Structure 1
Amino acid sequence: AELPYEARLALLRRHRIALWDTVGRCHRQGSLDSAIREALGNEFQPLLARLPHLQLIGFNGQHAGRQQAFFQSLGYQTVVLPSTSPAYASLNLDQKSERWLSALRPFLSP
């Protein structure tokens, strides 16, 4: 069963996971990332300044993963993860979950 939104946020906090959209503003018809037009990136410097012990930046899908080289150039370890979008149907939910967990497990708090 899907957890309520507040419970999901609590779970992320417990494992010291932060979420941040790479796109701050854009035009998009529908919910597909491929429909994103005129995207303006989110400001990352304030977030990075608040997280001096950040160990890993994970990107939700290839669109967000376009930022990977930038963060690697700043010295961060990065990983592009399978998109959680239902439109990305080449992997089922169990396969996506396993790939996410495999990538994040070494960084999760006990």
Structure 2
Amino acid sequence: MSDIRSFPPIAGKNARILILGSIPGKASLEAGQYYAHPRNQFWTIMAELLACGPLSDYPGKTQALLDANIALWDVMQSCYRPGSLDAAIDKSSVVANDFKSFLADHPHIRQIFFNGATAEQAFRRLVRPDLLKPDLHLQRLPSTSPAHAALNFQQKLECWRVIASGLNSVANH
């Protein structure tokens, strides 16, 4: 694996929250699914936040996000990366996804949460300077990747609860 491409976004027209990863890892690319590595905690955290019980199949997982008006995508459209770790991404090879068009097509998005530091840094470097939406709330959350072992599941979940709060605040507007 070296030259890699991201997946299309998962997003409904009424999406209010966007969660951004960096680019899919090896297990995800092989499965053709976001967060497919069995030890990645993304889907377990989402099931907890959305109170929808265990999410077993991929269509059910993605539908739970759509039902909650959460969009999912990656900052990077493509890059060169030997292996699966974000640390191995050749920064000079990164091409960002088209956020101007995406946000124009999803005008209700007001909050963007980053699944880890690499996604946030790439977004701030490659996307934010040209983005004409100053009212976006941007927030980095701890990576759900098994490579991010500094926090256990419960600690990550507590940090990610801000998304549930965000869902409640947009529902009240």
TM-score (norm 2): 0.57
Q: Percent of counterpart pairs with the same letter? A: 38
1:7 matched residue in structure 2 = 60
1:80-99 matches, cutoff 5 A = 80-99=140-159
Distance in structure 2 (CA, Å) of the matches to 1:72 and 1:41 = 16
Q: Segments of 4+ in structure 1 off by > 4 A?
A: none
Equivalent residue for 1:62?
117
Residues of 1 paired with 2:64 and 2:114: CA distance?
19
1:78 aligns with 2:131: no
Q: Structure 1 residues 83, 72: CA separation in 2 closer, same or farther (over 3 Å shift)?
A: farther
* Alpha-carbon distance in 2 for matches of 1:94, 1:2: 18
Q: Greater relative contact order: 1 or 2 (C-alpha under 8 angstroms, separation 6 or more)?
A: 2
CA RMSD of aligned residues (A): 2.1
2:84 pairs with 1:25: no
Q: Which amino acid aligns with 1:96?
A: K
Question: How far apart are residue 72 of structure 1 and its match?
Answer: 9.2
Paired position in structure 2 for 1:106? 165
Tell me which amino acid in the other structure corresponds to 2:167.
L
Could you report, residue by residue, the CA deviation over 1:50-72 in whole angstroms, capped at 9, with x for unpaired residues? 11111200011101111248269
Structure 2, unaligned runs of 5 or more: 1-53
Count of residue correspondences: 109
The reply on whether 1:41 has 2:100 as its aligned counterpart is: no
TM-score normalized by structure 1?
A: 0.87
The structural deviation recorded for 1:5 is 1.1
Closer, same or farther: CA 80–68 of 1 in aligned 2, 3 Å = farther
Partners of 1:32 and 1:2 lie apart in 2 by 25
